[in-house]
Amino acid sequence: MYVPKSPFVLGMEITTQCNLNCPHCVADADSRGKKIPYDKAISVIDEAERIGVKDLVLGGGEVLLYDEFFNLCEYALIKGLNVTFSSNGLLIPKEIDSISRLKKHNRMLRVGISLDGPTPKIHSYFRPEDTFEAAIRAISLLQNEDINVHVLCVLNKKNIKIIPDFLEFLLKLNVLDMRLLPLMPFGRGKLHREEMLSPAEFYYILQEKNKWINEFKINIGSNMPWEFLFYPLDKRHPHPCVAGYLRFWINSDGNMFPCAYMSDIPLGNIYTDSISDVWLNSPIMRNLRDPSLLKGACSTCAYRADCRGGCRGLAQFLEGDYLCADPYCPIANQKLLK
Amino acid sequence: MERMEDDKLILYFGHTLIVLGAHETEIWEMCDGEHTVESMSNIVVNKYTISQEKAFNNIIKFLNQLLERNLIRLCCD
């Protein structure tokens, strides 16, 4: 499989400051937070542009609390990068004019709004209840400005039972793009491992997903590398976990990671290393790209070369080794059950 | 999203990379809503030493791969 010379997508956690304090937050964000200094963030964008990164994902925390946020976005857009950021929606009304002004650069600008269900009660499983209305208002304001908006939904034990209702609700809001994000055992999510979906709950979502896409005409994004196993044989196009292959992640300390879900495996730091050098030469990145090193069920799996073991973050956190099989993979699970 | 790496065109689509060689890239660039398969194969035949039938079949095969991955749509007039 071809390994690109640099990541296509670069994620940068510019701040862990947040106006909320959600119990499941993978960034462990709070009111104080940390941030990547503006000048350093600019130099990261410079290198990203130079090495061919196409998409910049700005994450937090709540990115709208970052003082120079719009200057940073503008700089990236001028450099020719597409920019995506996510928000809980609370500050969108205050910043909508500044967001709208970013459109003039004619690059792709996408905003993800966190919304976990079609009612305040369901939405508030992890989040404060009053953020429901804020999220709805934010979506509407962004749509009025013709900004590409998608919904980010963290799956939980409650909302997985009403996904069709949620999709119907999103359709009424004219939201045509949603991402399903499983609760991951990272950041404060580590304290809520019991809230992670079981493999069976996961499989239910993936089995139903295509039916829902056809029924509601909403693009439903989820990205488990072994999702292809839920497609008919002739429609299976396995692709590997994006860690080490397509994406790269920088946290607010400047540490570099294969992805946001591998936050206990730092590969380097933006204050001392170049992204390009780490991408090409980090021994961990090389290991991630070598399917022959995969262990357990993956070591004999027919899909090993293309799937490369599923989510490397889940393997690391749940199995203690990023070269183990993703414990949520149906094939690995079957073997474990035996 | 796409970018050139050496002589290859790399397409990034749906968390997948598709790597196109020089000839495939030429066909990909002709997937502009203007060219028909026939006009593509005429261009290829005029440029390279290849029979019309072989060029046509190779192009169809490649377009089918793109179609299967939803990278192109067929337009009918």
**Interface confidence (ipTM) of the complex:** 0.82
Query: What is the pLDDT averaged over residues A218-234?
Result: 89
CA atoms within 13 Å, Cβ hemisphere of A11: 22
Query: What is the pLDDT averaged over residues A64-90?
Result: 97
- Does residue A131 have a pLDDT over 90? yes
CB within 8 Å of B41: residues ≥ 6 apart: B52, B55, B56, B59
Lowest mean pLDDT among A38-42, A109-113, A175-179, A227-231: A227-231
User: What per-residue confidence (pLDDT) applies to B32?
Assistant: 92
Spatial separation of the C-alpha atoms in residues A171 and A47, rounded to whole Å:
39
Q: Is the dihedral of CA A256, A5, A310, A316 positive or negative?
A: negative
Per-residue pLDDT band at A104 (split at 50, 70, 90): very high
- Does residue A265 have a pLDDT over 90? yes
pLDDT > 70 in chain A, percent:
99
Residues of B in contact with A237 (CB under 8 A): 16, 69
* Closest chain A residue to the Cα of B67, Cα to Cα: A235
**Is B15's Cβ below 8 Å from some Cβ in A?**
yes
* Closest chain A residue to the Cα of B6, Cα to Cα: A5
Residues of A in contact with B19 (CB under 8 A): 2
Strand partners for A149: A111
In a 3-state reduction of DSSP, which class is residue A17? strand
Query: What is the pLDDT averaged over residues A167-184?
Result: 96
Strand partners for A180: A153
- Does residue A198 have a pLDDT over 60? yes
Residue with the two structure tokens 């007039």: B77
- Does residue A36 have a pLDDT over 60? yes
- Does residue A312 have a pLDDT over 90? yes
pTM for this predicted structure: 0.93
Q: Cα distance from B38 to chain A (closest Cα, Å)?
A: 28
| Residue A294 φ then ψ, to 5° | -65, 145
Q: Cα distance from B42 to chain A (closest Cα, Å)?
A: 31
pLDDT > 90 in chain A, percent:
83
Per-residue pLDDT band at B77 (split at 50, 70, 90): low
Mutation choice for A interface testing from B3, B9, B15, B70 by most A CBs within 10 A? B15
Q: Is the dihedral of CA A110, A85, B19, B66 positive or negative?
A: negative
